[in-house]
Amino acid sequence: MHLIFGGAYQGKLDYAKARYGYTDQEVYDCALGKVVVRAQECDIAAANGIDFSKKVIDHLEEFVLACVRSGREAKELLAKDSEMWKDSVLICTDISSGIVPCDAEMRAWREMTGRTLMYLGTEACEVTRVFCGIPQQIK
């Protein structure tokens, strides 16, 4: 698994597509509003969550937000499905460096995204940060 992170609009998906030659058809975008994390279901696929048949999973932070709203821990759900993404490219926006949000849900989102990135960073064979369109190899 290749983890790509960085701030919003920095060119993370562009980098992934250029690097691997993927088209939009091979990208699943969690921001499209189709990710539904159920409070009780055990795995993401069964919960009509992320489509792991795609090679690239973009906007993973939106999946994390769905987890926050359902009272689930994103990294635990991901760990259960690890077989499904072990060869994927996972892209997540780094939302860790701004002002601490006033809203409790946004604060929980920020923290859970941090925990998720730490977990995925450990699991990844490659970690890349994209800064103003420029990739930096972290791992």
What does the binding site for other proteins look like in residue numbers (CB under 8 A)? 6-11, 93-99, 101, 106-107, 109-110, 113, 131-134, 136
Q: What is the DSSP letter of 137?
A: E
Question: Shortest Cβ distance from residue 95 to other proteins (Å)?
Answer: 4
Question: Shortest Cβ distance from residue 46 to other proteins (Å)?
Answer: 28
Question: Shortest Cβ distance from residue 63 to other proteins (Å)?
Answer: 15
CA distance 58 to 100: 24
Question: Shortest Cβ distance from residue 97 to other proteins (Å)?
Answer: 4
The residue (of 47 and 90) whose beta carbon lies closer to other proteins is 90
Strand residue runs (E) in 15-79: 27-29, 56-58
CA distance 81 to 36: 15
The residue (of 3 and 47) whose beta carbon lies closer to other proteins is 3
In this structure, are residues 3 and 124 in contact, taking their beta carbons and an 8 Å threshold?
Answer: yes
Q: Tokens at residue 102, please? A: 């006033």
In this structure, are residues 137 and 89 in contact, taking their beta carbons and an 8 Å threshold?
Answer: no
In this structure, are residues 139 and 121 in contact, taking their beta carbons and an 8 Å threshold?
Answer: yes
The residue (of 11 and 41) whose beta carbon lies closer to other proteins is 11
The residue (of 2 and 12) whose beta carbon lies closer to other proteins is 12
